[in-house]
Amino acid sequence: MRKFDYSLDYGQLDLRAHPEHYAIGRGEQGVLLVEPYKSELLPLWRFRDPEVARTSSEAIYARFLEYLEANDFVGADMARKFLQMGYTRSRRYANYPGGKKYKGPVPDDKKGQSGAHGREQHERGEEDPIKAESARIFKARWEDAKNHPEYQRQKREFRERYG
């Protein structure tokens, strides 16, 4: 599996026109970088409470289906990543008051990358049931997306073509 290349200038690179530069990567890598998809999906992404999460996850999933219909795997994968991020961020807010898992700022050379990077972790708080329900809503749609047969087919085809 090709790693996500953080050295590319994603703000200037249109990955709809140049899908060969896209790497599926791991998890949510590139979700807030890859254009034009970031600009199309970010306005739809909200998880404040279950009603908002349901509306958001449905809108993102509808866009996911549109990308699949257009045979735009990069768009579909980015929508999948936004659904996954809805789950992970909701879970973080459910587990940690204010959504802050680690103490202190993220080092500049680690922004956009996952992991603790040696920082001290906050104690988990009592679970926020509203954010936990938002997480459950996003997780269900994320599972639908990643297990969708057409998504799986396009993913195999993308990997065969671009590595």
pLDDT tens, 79-90? 999 999 999 999
pTM of this prediction? 0.85
> Who has greater pLDDT, 104 or 134?
134
* CA 163/CA 150 separation, integer angstroms: 19
Under DSSP, is residue 12 helix (H, G, I), strand (E, B) or coil? coil
- The mean pLDDT of the chain is 89
In the block, which residue shows the tokens 């659904």? 83
Confidence class of residue 39 from pLDDT cuts 50, 70 and 90?
Answer: very high
Question: Mean pLDDT over residues 9-31, rounded?
Answer: 94
Candidates 159, 150, 163, 128; CA nearest to 64 is 150
Report the pLDDT value the prediction gives residue 113, as an integer from 0 to 100. Answer: 53
| Under 8 Å between Cβ of 43 and 55 | no
Confidence class of residue 161 from pLDDT cuts 50, 70 and 90?
Answer: very high
Report the pLDDT value the prediction gives residue 125, as an integer from 0 to 100. Answer: 64
Report the pLDDT value the prediction gives residue 98, as an integer from 0 to 100. Answer: 61
* CA 163/CA 160 separation, integer angstroms: 6
